[in-house]
């Protein structure tokens, strides 16, 4: 998983504290159908919403998501 690789790279370049404080955003296809699965992953701190933002109901479902 790329997000894990990014966090590990930050840790290697800086330190563990910095790596834990960096917020890693998932930049793939974030939709109401996969938001729960994505946000459950340990190295994903948020998502970048693309096409789902064009459909009001989809966007609201993402904005209102809580784990």
pTM: 0.82
What whole-number distance in Å separates Cα of residue 9 and Cα of residue 6? 5
Per-position pLDDT tens, the chain of length 67: 899 999 999 999 999 999 999 999 999 999 999 999 999 999 999 999 999 999 999 999 999 999 8
Query: Taking the CA of residue 6 as centre, how many other CA atoms within 13 Å lie in the half-sphere pointing to its CB?
Result: 15
């Amino acid at each position: 998983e790329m997000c894990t690789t990014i966090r590990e790279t930050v840790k290697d370049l800086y330190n563990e504290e910095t790596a834990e404080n960096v917020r890693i955003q998932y930049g793939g296809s974030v939709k109401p159908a996969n938001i729960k699965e994505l946000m459950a992953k340990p190295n994903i701190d948020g998502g970048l919403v693309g096409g789902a933002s064009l459909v009001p109901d989809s966007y609201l479902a993402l904005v209102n998501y809580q784990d």
